[in-house]
Structure 1
């Protein structure tokens, strides 16, 4: 039995084929779009294979009987999670944008064989996630189609600043920038009106300042394992912030804020050792 035989299981909701040394996926010949038979599929894992192309069923253009080229937008309407990490994909087809009518989480860390298509390109790291790979390779055309992608992860990318294209996705709700090189929280994030959770653990941030005040929808902020030794008093009047995690920073005084705090691992004065733990 081959992979194509799975397409007979039309009630599948999760299909996990990670680490199977797959060179292709989705069928051959007439069954290239066999994946469309899985109309109930909500999660597809194809990470850690050897795919060189995005599966045809996720990006295919088809010709209908009238000879018109159409995208099959509703074939995988229930798909919510797609994982293509650690493959050798040569390019992200521009037609992939239709997929994001339904998908809210896509993982492409180290999925792109960028040097095969862009031999002269210079990248800080080869372990690219969806965030910087789209920023650098695909441009705004595809970004504008990501309207259901509410969660974005750009971990361990050597980022010093926020790529300006991020602001072309004002619908983002959760942004993870852990383990980068940020020295401050990007004030431009105030232009993401739906952002309610920001994760910037393991950066080089020294101060939590007024830039957070402009993020009107922010409810949760994670800044663990930074160099923070000062928190602006203006956060006291933040309209929505409810939880601030500052574990393992350099605070000697607990911030006087009317919100939930996590301060474990800070060099607090002895009188404040149990504050916020």
Structure 2
């Protein structure tokens, strides 16, 4: 079978000799001249149990894709690829002992090890000082090593779909980190030190065990998206968004209070007088209602001076108070804020 060479561009009729897709039958038949010209080599979906030795003779290689094979080890010869910048090895059978000791000497900028069998992030990976993107999602990681702070060039860290229980404070020492994906883990809390991630734009924490967020998270002024769905924090919000119709007693009490019907201690029994004293005024400025035992629990996103939007729980007297035209006390101010604050400064919390 012949090597597959991708066209350089639509309509130009010229082959891009820097990009080469091979299967296991042709990798050993490539000419030395062709190896010298190749910058990108794709060996994915080849059922490889090990890498052919000839791969390491592509000395000018900048990208190597060995995804979706049956690899259990990456041999030490990979260190010979001195110009390699991107290594994609997802969906193999790699584990904690699969990387060579000299792996950290590579000058990688992008590394994808997702869909393997790692239980720990190999320390060799934490020596890749030029690394900008590290993906180890869908493995069996239980923790994040403190040595992660050594990856000072990191912009994207993808660790979703693991068994991680905690975020070490050392993650906050990554000055250029813009995307942090920790969804589908077992994380119970967010360290307040993350406020030092001044470049962070997206934080994915959905499907974890979070029950609260530190107030310091409001200091992440560059954060544009925070995903929280599937956490006890959000589940509690959603479950409490219920409304039980008021009793006849409450309806009568609401009528007396909202219409300012006068009454005196001699008119009512002491327990009814006490009940009327428990009335809570509806916070909706367009509603003069009150409530006692029955209220609407309603989530409202509040914009903090254009820096961040967080869900707050509001207790309203009736479902009508949740309509767009008459919400909580901050509804008017929010609509004005959202029209005056640039869209790129309004950030969102994803609850579902």
Match of 1:128 in 2: 94
* Change beyond 3 A, Cα 1:235–1:35: same
- Contact 2:47/2:68 (<8 A) preserved: no
- Contact 1:4/1:34 (<8 A) preserved: no
Task: Find the aligned partners of 1:204 and 1:166 in 2 and give their Cα distance.
Answer: 19
* Change beyond 3 A, Cα 1:180–1:91: closer
CA positional deviation for 1:246: 0.6
Q: How many residues align?
A: 228
For the residue of structure 2 that corresponds to 1:231, the secondary structure is coil
Gaps of 5+ in 1: 61-71, 111-126
CA positional deviation for 1:180: 2.9
Match of 1:264 in 2: 229
Match of 1:48 in 2: 45
Cα deviation, 1:192-248, whole Å, max 9, x if unaligned, reads 211221111122233334232233332221111112232122322434333211111
Q: CA RMSD in A?
A: 3.6
Match of 1:232 in 2: 191
For the residue of structure 2 that corresponds to 1:36, the secondary structure is helix
Q: TM-score, normalised by structure 1?
A: 0.65
CA positional deviation for 1:249: 1.6
Using CA pairs under 8 Å that are at least 6 residues apart, name the structure with larger relative contact order, 1 or 2: 1
Q: TM-score, normalised by structure 2?
A: 0.53
Cα deviation, 1:79-103, whole Å, max 9, x if unaligned, reads 4344365267998463x43434144
State yes or no: 1:107 paired with 2:89. yes
- Contact 1:54/1:89 (<8 A) preserved: no
- Contact 2:94/2:117 (<8 A) preserved: no
Match of 2:34 in 1: 35
CA positional deviation for 1:12: 3.5
Cα deviation, 1:37-88, whole Å, max 9, x if unaligned, reads 7x3x4433223336666263x434xxxxxxxxxxx84xx46x4344365267
Cα deviation, 1:91-129, whole Å, max 9, x if unaligned, reads 8463x434341442343754xxxxxxxxxxxxxxxx127
- Contact 1:253/1:272 (<8 A) preserved: no
Task: Find the aligned partners of 1:244 and 1:17 in 2 and give their Cα distance.
Answer: 37
Match of 2:27 in 1: 25
